[in-house]
Copies of this chain bind each other. A is one copy, B any other.
Amino acid sequence: MINGTNVKLGKVRSAIRELFEYGRKRKAEIGEENVFDFSLGNPSVPAPEEVKTELLRLISETDPVFLHGYTSAQGDYSVRKTLADDINARFGTRLTADCLYMTCGAAASLCITLNALVCSGDEVITFAPFFPEYSVFASRAGAKLVAVKSDPLSFQPDLAALRSELCDKTKAVIINSPNNPSGVVYSEKTITALAEILREHEEKTGNEIYLISDEPYRELVFDDSISVPYIMNYYDRAIVCYSYSKSLSLPGERIGYIAVSNKMEELSEVYAGICGAGRALGYVCAPNLFQQLVKAVTGKTADISVYKRNRDILCAALTSYGYTVIKPDGAFYLFVKALEEDAEKFAEKAKEYELLLVPSDSFGVKGYVRISYCVDTAMIERSLPAFRKLAESYKA
């Protein structure tokens, strides 16, 4: 007689978790070094040295009543001011501290934002492939998640398809670039055109549409020629959901923020909605020690060159074995075309070679697998013969 939706959510593991648990068992059976686990998006690179130094300094030198005390619900003012200044310096925006709301990471950022915006019965659009938890978050906020397809070659959003899905119920569009699971960065051309379509729809219907950018992978881009457009410079009803989980390798500490564009006419309403949603979901404030930390290490990242090396090794090898790989500009995921139509069957086949690859079905796309390459480079090198044999098994 308790809430069945949540019981089900708690019992049904995601495809990713399921595979990870299989991997744990398999490693116990045949040895850790013989299983090639590409299932989880868990940073393998340690936090940068500055994180350790600054944590030790903060704990040694700061009054504990302040350091471990409540901040205001939206976060410590000086933290928000520092981060707003940093965003302004990097992207030419003019955010104030009061455009930022500190959160317990990206999932909290998204849940709070969706709960702030959504009225029951609204629709929220995203582009497939997408992070599966979006459905869970949107649904709890009272919205239906509508997945719009991407271009099958570039994996950029299909904007014609977007146009046909926009309707009176559309409250928001979520984008995620660099993308989990495709690794694709949405181009400036895409963002410009997307913004234009949303503005047109707003004018036509008189409804506000919010563009939410889920950006945990913003800093994980491996070529200087690639830039990740900052959505506030293209669209006024823009909200950035940021997390330090991947950029600083702090996924377990739950620290991030929501940034609301100062160019949004109804900024104070939306910000109040965010404060209210955070309150109703039980988020009193983001962890204070880590608020002070991200202020102290602004601009630093973990050593992401490791991910670039991993990507380059995998891309070159897999391509040479005959796999089709989506060009990965960022994040730490590689989206690879399955060698048979059914990605789940392909992933099962891969297990015979001890390769743990996540089938794309749960990301809303058929026929691909996701390879998380946030792993030891040595494991990648050990895994290459298995990838080759897997490809050969389809040629036979």
- Which of chain B's residues have a CB closer than 8 A to the CB of A110? 282
Q: Indicate if A226 sits at the interface (CB-CB under 8 A).
A: no
**Interface contact A277-B46, CB-CB below 8 Å:** no
From B2, B115, B254, contact of A270 by CB (8 A): B2
Counted per complex, copies of this chain come to 2
Interface 9-mer from A49-57, A158-166, A227-235, A378-386: A49-57
| A126-169 near B? 1/0 per residue, CB < 8 Å | 00000001001101100000000000000000000000000000
Residues A65 and B44 in contact in the complex (CB < 8 Å), given A3-B115, A284-B105? yes
CA distance A274 to B107 in the complex (A): 17
A92-111 contacts to B (CB < 8 Å): 104-105, 107-111
Q: A235-266, CB under 8 A of B: which get 1 and which 0?
A: 00000000000000111111000000000001
- Judged by a CB distance under 8 angstroms, whether A22 is at the interface is no
Asked if A287 contacts B290 (CB within 8 A), the reply is: yes
Is the Cβ of A7 less than 8 Å from the Cβ of B269?
yes
Complex: how many Å from CA A55 to CA B69? 16
Any B CB within 8 A of the CB of A31: no
Interface size on A, residues (CB 8 A): 80
Cβ contacts under 8 Å, A314 to chain B: none
| A42 close to chain B: CB less than 8 A | yes
Q: Verify B42–A277 contact, CB threshold 8 A.
A: no
Q: Which residues in chain A, 269-294, are within 8 Å of chain B measured between CB atoms?
A: 269-277, 279-290
Kindly identify which residue among B2, B6, B108, B273 contacts A282, using a CB–CB cutoff of 8 Å: B108
Most buried by B among A10, A111, A117, A270: A10
- Whether A252 contacts B2 by the Cβ 8 Å rule is no
> From A118, which residue of chain B is reached at the shortest CB distance?
B3
Chain A binding surface SS class: helix
A50 to chain B, nearest CB (A): 12
Distance in angstroms from A121 CB to nearest chain B CB is 12
Report A122 CB to chain B, min CB distance, Å.
Answer: 9
- A275 near B107 with CB under 8 A, answer no
Q: Is the CB of A64 within 8 A of B249?
A: yes
B9 contacts A280, CB within 8 Å?
A: yes
A282 to B47, CA, bound (A): 23
A393 in contact (CB, < 8 A): no
**With contact pairs A5-B276, A254-B287 given, residues A10 and B282 touching in the complex (Cβ less than 8 Å):** no
B68 x A117 contact (CB < 8 A) = no
A70 within 8 A of B: yes
**Residue A60 lies at the interface, judged by CB distance under 8 Å to chain B:** yes
Chain B residues closer than 8 Å to A313, beta-carbon distance: none
- Whether, in the assembled complex, A8 has its beta carbon less than 8 Å from a beta carbon of chain B, the answer is yes
16 further A-B contacts with Cβ under 8 Å, apart from A3-B276, A7-B116, are A2-B119, A3-B115, A3-B118, A6-B116, A7-B272, A11-B272, A11-B275, A11-B276, A47-B68, A52-B64, A67-B252, A68-B250, A68-B251, A69-B251, A104-B104, A281-B282
Q: List 15 A-B contacts (CB under 8 A).
A: A1-B171, A2-B117, A2-B273, A3-B117, A7-B276, A9-B279, A10-B271, A10-B276, A10-B279, A56-B59, A68-B250, A68-B252, A108-B284, A137-B282, A139-B280
Closest 4 CB pairs of A and B: A9-B276, A111-B282, A252-B288, A10-B276
